[in-house]
Amino acid sequence: MDEALLLYDDTEHTTSRFVGFAGNHARYDVVITTTDHFYGKHLVYVIQNGRTAIMDDNDAIDIPLLMDAFQIHSEAEADEFSQFLIANL
């Protein structure tokens, strides 16, 4: 690539919440960042595996999406994480 095309370069103040969550199936250390950049959605970052997803309440109830986005291998664990996100986004 000879020349890079800068698509955007924004600076904004955000709010980040750091939450440790231990359920029946797994433990999560999560960072939830609130920003205006993603149309009201939040950045959800799981520290253990380095996976990040842009999510809102509708995404939080989508079990297959959670399993794929955060490399969760069981529906029970994904459901538990879903309940956590619903309560905390």
This prediction's pTM? 0.89
Local structure of 22: helix, strand or coil: strand
Sheet of 42-46, strand order? 15-22, 27-34, 42-46, 51-55
What is the per-residue pLDDT across 53-89, written as a single tens digit (0 to 9) for each? 999 999 999 999 999 999 999 999 999 999 999 999 9
Question: Quick check: 78 and 68 in contact, CB under 8 A?
Answer: no
Residue ranges of the domains in the chain?
15-88
Please determine, for residue 34, whether its predicted confidence score (pLDDT) is greater than 80: yes
- How buried is residue 31: exposed, middle or buried, by Cβ count under 10 Å (0-12/13-18/19+)? middle
Nearest to 39 by CA among 52, 53, 54, 24: 54
